[in-house]
Each structure stands twice: as structure tokens, then as C-alpha cells.
């Protein structure tokens, strides 16, 4: 299952027994992931989620207010994802070592341009450190789990990288006017729609209310849908649309679409 050269940090798949000199000490007492990550440099409690077919890259040696960090420190990926680590060249010698020995980039390296990758096949929580900086908070985690599922595939694929989407479609089928907050917490700032997905009946008006946070946002349909608001930043701004026809309507805030600022309206 292994491939790549042995002298450089190399591609690996499957499980490998760490060598004696490079063995990471297993945790002696189980500690929750949240507790373990509490002093992880650059971690603000929000993980970055990637969808299927994505190619996540984590930078080593990112300078943060806390100190040297993996960036992003915590990511969530589906099974069968190849995760890559790139050395920035900052902060001296670094490596990537899973606490449970699942993956190990080998000898430390300080060279910008060094890379390592590991193919995650199975679900699980993988904690890892850069050994020279493990006591200084340079640590991270890869969470491998199935993406959130609402049962609506089109919607699930559109929202998979939206941090506040957990597979729930908020039920607003019993109201004539449903509201969505634009500029809610999420996606690494105030870059979320809340709720990200909602379900309404035909003839229902959806109103998006701007919080004023996160800079200018807009509401624009994917492809050629009916939603097309102005790009505005002011708190108290609003945009409305009344949905006549059934279907799944996908939209985003164009400036923040890549961050995951996406939403969906299901009209029944």
C-alpha cells in the first residue's frame, strides 16, 4: 500500500507501524478532541469542512498570534480524501506525525516546498503534531466523516462546505414569510446564511435580513435562478422573493461563495 521514495516525506496509504525513534507517545488518558485542541495554535473552534473530490492542503509553519500553526488546524473531510501538507519554510524544522501512528512524514524538514500527503480511507479523528513544536501548540486534527446529508443530494452537494450546515433543512412550510439571516456566524467569520437550508410551501415569501457583519453580501441564484439582490453591507438591509414553483433553489453570496456562504430553499 505504500508508495513514494523513502528519503523524502512520501505519499503513504494504509496503516504503517512507526519506527522507534519517531513514535508519537499515545495519549495515556482519553481526552476529548475539543480539550486537546484547546491550545492548538490558530484554532478558533471552527473547523473547515471539505466535500468529496476536494483536495485539502494544510500549510505548516503559518505564523499566528498564538505561534506557529498548521493552517487550517482542523479540517473535516469525507472518507477517501487525499490530504496534503505543504511546508511554508517558516519556523524551522517541522514534521507531521499522528499521535496514533496512522501517518508520519518522517524526519523533520525546514525547507519551503517540502510536502507530504496521506490518503484517508476510513472515518475517525486523527490528532497530529509537528514534533519539534508539539509543546508549543503546533497541533491539528483531521476529522474523517461522512458529509452531512439531508436526503436532497443536489442541496447536500451545494452546502457541503458550509460550516453551519449539518444536514438539517429548517421547516418553514407553515408560514407565509420565512426569514434568513445574511452575515450570520460561520465559514470563518460572519459569512453564513442562517438557516443555510429551509423548506417552504409555494407562495411563500423568503426575506433575507442583513446583520451588517462580514462586509457586503448578496443573494444570487446558482445558474439562472430567480434570486439576484444587490451587493450591500448595511445592517437592516433586506431582500425578498416569493417562490411560486416547487423545486430546489440554490444560491450564494458571490463574494463569499468560496468560503461556503451558500444557501438553499426547497419549495414543496
| Alpha carbon distance 83, 49 (integer Å) | 12
- 217 belongs to the binding site for Cu ion (CB under 5 A): yes
Choosing from 75, 129, 253, 266, the residue that interacts with Cu ion (CB under 5 A) is: 253
DSSP string, 106-137: -S-B--TT-EEEEEE-S-EEEEEE-GGGGGGT
Applying CB under 5 A, the span of 96-104, 194-202, 230-238, 257-265 interacting with Cu ion comes to 257-265
Sign of the alpha-carbon dihedral angle for 117, 122, 123, 128 = negative
Binding mask 36-55 for Cu ion (x = CB under 5 A): --------------------
- 261 belongs to the binding site for Cu ion (CB under 5 A): yes
Q: How far is the CB of 259 from Cu ion (least distance, A)?
A: 8
Q: How far is the CB of 182 from Cu ion (least distance, A)?
A: 7
Phi, psi (rounded to 5 degrees) for 199: -120, 130
| Alpha carbon distance 97, 77 (integer Å) | 18
Q: State whether residue 258 is helix, strand or coil.
A: helix
The backbone region for 42, taken as left when phi is positive above 0, alpha when psi lies in -120 to 50, beta otherwise, is left
Q: How far is the CB of 253 from Cu ion (least distance, A)?
A: 3
Complex with Cu ion: residue 49 or 256, whichever CB lies closer = 256
- 256 belongs to the binding site for Cu ion (CB under 5 A): yes
138 is in an annotated binding site: no
Binding residues for Cu cation: 217, 253, 256, 261
Binding residues: 217, 253, 256, 261
Chain contacts with Cu ion (rule: CB under 5 A): 217, 253, 256, 261
Amino acid at each position: 500500500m505504500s508508495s513514494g521514495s523513502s528519503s523524502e516525506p512520501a505519499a503513504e496509504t494504509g496503516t504503517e507501524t512507526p519506527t522507534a525513534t519517531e513514535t508519537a507517545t499515545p495519549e495515556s488518558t482519553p481526552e476529548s478532541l475539543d480539550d486537546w485542541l484547546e491550545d492548538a495554535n490558530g484554532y478558533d473552534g471552527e473547523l473547515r469542512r471539505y466535500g468529496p473530490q476536494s483536495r485539502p492542503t494544510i500549510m505548516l509553519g503559518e505564523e499566528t498570534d498564538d505561534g506557529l500553526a498548521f493552517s487550517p488546524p482542523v479540517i473535516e473531510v469525507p472518507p477517501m480524501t487525499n490530504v496534503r501538507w505543504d511546508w511554508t519554510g517558516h519556523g524551522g524544522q517541522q514534521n507531521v506525525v499522528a499521535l496514533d501512528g496512522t501517518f508520519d512524514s518522517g524526519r523533520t524538514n525546514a525547507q519551503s516546498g517540502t510536502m507530504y500527503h496521506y490518503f484517508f480511507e476510513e472515518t475517525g479523528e486523527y490528532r497530529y503534531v509537528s514534533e519539534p513544536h508539539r509543546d508549543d501548540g503546533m497541533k491539528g486534527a483531521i476529522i474523517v466523516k461522512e458529509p452531512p446529508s439531508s436526503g436532497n443530494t443536489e442541496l447536500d452537494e451545494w452546502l457541503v462546505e458550509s460550516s453551519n450546515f449539518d444536514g438539517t433543512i429548517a421547516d418553514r412550510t407553515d408560514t407565509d414569510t420565512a426569514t434568513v439571516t445574511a452575515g450570520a456566524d460561520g465559514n470563518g467569520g460572519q459569512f453564513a446564511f442562517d438557516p443555510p437550508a429551509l423548506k417552504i410551501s409555494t407562495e411563500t415569501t423568503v426575506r433575507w435580513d442583513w446583520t451588517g457583519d462580514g462586509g457586503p453580501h448578496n443573494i444570487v441564484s446558482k445558474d439562472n435562478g430567480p434570486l439576484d439582490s444587490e451587493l450591500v453591507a448595511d445592517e437592516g438591509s433586506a431582500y425578498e422573493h416569493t417562490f411560486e414553483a416547487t423545486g430546489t433553489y440554490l444560491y450564494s453570496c458571490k463574494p463569499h461563495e468560496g468560503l461556503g456562504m451558500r444557501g438553499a430553499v426547497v419549495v414543496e
